[in-house]
């Protein structure tokens, strides 16, 4: 493999993956990204120009997608509308990008016989009860609950059907909640960090009891690289790092790290249909591909993330006011 196409490479996980893969291989990377509100060209600064190309464009643009797919050995597909709260306000872009965009890409990959890796989410499996010891596995039933997760579930099923019906050389990964540098300030952890930096109290939806299974974004990148290299065609791999925490405990940790009282947060209007708990069993990925996460210590990863936002205000500041304005309109 010499050349890859990364869709959504100007977004949070996509840009971290591009930095990771270019630092750990000699691959040439082309990024295709529409630069929606969530994309930021600055997140791709400093990459070696002889091995990197940026194309601004839409994954629903069949002619462009077909041309770019024909030039590479593999496609790694991150591009998506990714935020649940937005999907509850305006679902249409989720249907277009997550469903039609994925369809457009797999049709091009089918035509050219290109290896395809589809990035997805644990949310396709719905949620688990707070007191249930169960975790999601590759065999869990699809039960998405939000417009976002329903369109991601649909995109996974399209990829599975293209493998079975057309022999598409594809793999799928479903990962849990990522944190780390370059994450948009609409998401939970960066929102609270930047609120604290601005002297605003963190905001917890409902009572803050919902549980997410946190993984550092670099561990997600190393898992995707392992699947791209050694994953079995047609297989799904769940990616997670045993990082289950309630939202309340994450906020308490953040408050302590910045020297404030752990109860200095506000409870705000809950998200409609708010999934209770996600939890990943990543045993298959670890056993088959020998992958292990490197960021085992969540507190240390969180502290490094706080430092990154403190040191990179120029990156997030332009998005902060409009994001908070939108949340105010939703009662969050």
Residues forming the active site: 122-123, 148
204 binds ligand DAU (CB under 6 A): yes
Question: How far, in whole angstroms, is CA 322 from its chain's centroid?
Answer: 21
Judged by CB under 6 A, the stretch of 8-16, 202-210, 254-262, 276-284 that binds ligand NAD is 8-16
**Per-residue contact string for residues 49-88; x = within reach of ligand DAU by CB under 6 A:** ---------------------------------xxx----
**Using CA of residue 9, residue 107, residue 225, residue 72, what is the dihedral sign?**
negative
Q: For residues 15 and 255, which CB has a smaller minimum distance to ligand NAD in the complex?
A: 15
Q: What is the DSSP string of 44-113?
A: GTT--GGGEEEEE--TT-HHHHHHHHTT-SEEEE------HHHHHH--HHHIIIIIIIHHHHHHHHHHHT
The size of the interface with ligand DAU (CB under 6 A), counted in residues, is 20
Q: For residues 27 and 99, which CB has a smaller minimum distance to ligand DAU in the complex?
A: 99
Cα–Cα distance list, 57 to 9, 11, 94 (Å):
12, 14, 17
181 binds ligand NAD (CB under 6 A): no
Judged by CB under 6 A, the stretch of 107-115, 136-144, 198-206, 284-292 that binds ligand DAU is 198-206
Q: For residues 72 and 211, which CB has a smaller minimum distance to ligand DAU in the complex?
A: 211
- Which neighbouring-strand residues pair with 280? 136
236 binds ligand NAD (CB under 6 A): no
Q: For residues 107 and 219, which CB has a smaller minimum distance to ligand DAU in the complex?
A: 219
Crossing angle for the helix pair 298-311 and 188-197, to the nearest 10 degrees: 50
Which of 264, 243, 251 is closest to 193 using CA atoms? Answer: 251
Which of 18, 23, 19 is closest to 7 using CA atoms? Answer: 18
The size of the interface with ligand NAD (CB under 6 A), counted in residues, is 30
- Angle at alpha carbon of residue 109, lines to 103 and 113, rounded to 5°: 150
Binding test (CB under 6 A) with ligand NAD, winner from 5, 80, 185, 238:
80
Give the dihedral of Cα atoms 227, 229, 230, 233; nearest 10 deg: 70
Q: For residues 202 and 231, which CB has a smaller minimum distance to ligand DAU in the complex?
A: 202
CA distance 60 to 91: 16
Judged by CB under 6 A, the stretch of 29-37, 56-64, 184-192, 222-230 that binds ligand DAU is 184-192
Nearby residues of 54 by Cβ (< 8 Å), 6 or more positions away: 9, 10, 30, 31, 33, 41, 44
Binding test (CB under 6 A) with ligand DAU, winner from 43, 145, 236, 247:
247
Judged by CB under 6 A, the stretch of 53-61, 68-76, 252-260, 315-323 that binds ligand NAD is 53-61
CA distance 188 to 12: 13
Binding test (CB under 6 A) with ligand NAD, winner from 178, 222, 236, 282:
178
Binding residues for ligand NAD (CB under 6 A):
7-8, 10-14, 33-36, 38-39, 58-60, 78-82, 97, 101, 119, 121, 152, 175, 177-178, 184
Binding residues for ligand DAU (CB under 6 A):
82-84, 121-123, 176-177, 187-188, 191, 203-205, 210, 212, 247, 271, 278, 332
């Amino acid at each position: 493999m010499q050349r890859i196409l990364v869709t959504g490479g100007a977004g949070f996980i996509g840009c971290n993956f591009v930095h990771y893969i270019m630092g750990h291989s000699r691959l040439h990377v082309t990024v295709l990204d529409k630069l929606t509100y969530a994309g930021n060209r600055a997140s791709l600064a400093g990459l070696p120009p002889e091995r990197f190309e940026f194309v601004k464009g839409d994954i629903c643009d069949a002619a462009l997608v077909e041309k770019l797919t024909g030039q590479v050995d593999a496609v790694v597909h991150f591009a998506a509308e990714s935020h649940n709260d937005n999907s509850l306000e305006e679902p249409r872009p989720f249907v277009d990008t997550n469903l039609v965009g994925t369809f457009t890409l797999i049709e091009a990959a089918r035509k050219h016989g290109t290896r395809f890796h589809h990035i997805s989410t644990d949310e396709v499996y719905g949620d688990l009860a707070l007191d249930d010891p169960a975790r999601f596995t590759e065999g869990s039933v699809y039960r998405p609950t939000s417009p976002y997760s329903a369109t991601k579930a649909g995109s996974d099923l399209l990829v599975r059907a293209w493998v079975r019906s057309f022999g598409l050389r594809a793999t799928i990964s479903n990962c849990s909640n990522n944190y780390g540098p370059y994450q948009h300030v609409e998401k939970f952890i960066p929102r609270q960090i930047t609120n604290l930096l601005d002297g605003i109290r963190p905001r917890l939806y409902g009572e803050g009891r919902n549980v997410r299974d946190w993984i550092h974004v670099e561990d997600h990148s190393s898992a995707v690289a392992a699947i791209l290299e050694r994953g079995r065609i047609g297989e799904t791999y769940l990616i997670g790092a045993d990082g289950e925490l309630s939202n309340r405990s994450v906020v308490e940790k953040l408050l302590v790290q910045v020297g404030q009282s752990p109860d200095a947060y506000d409870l705000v209007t809950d998200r409609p249909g708010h999934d209770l708990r996600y939890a990943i069993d990543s045993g298959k990925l670890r056993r088959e591909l020998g992958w292990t996460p490197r960021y085992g210590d969540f507190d240390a990863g969180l502290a490094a993330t706080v430092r990154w936002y403190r040191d990179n205000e120029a990156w997030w500041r332009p998005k902060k006011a409009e994001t908070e304005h939108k949340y105010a309109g939703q009662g969050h």
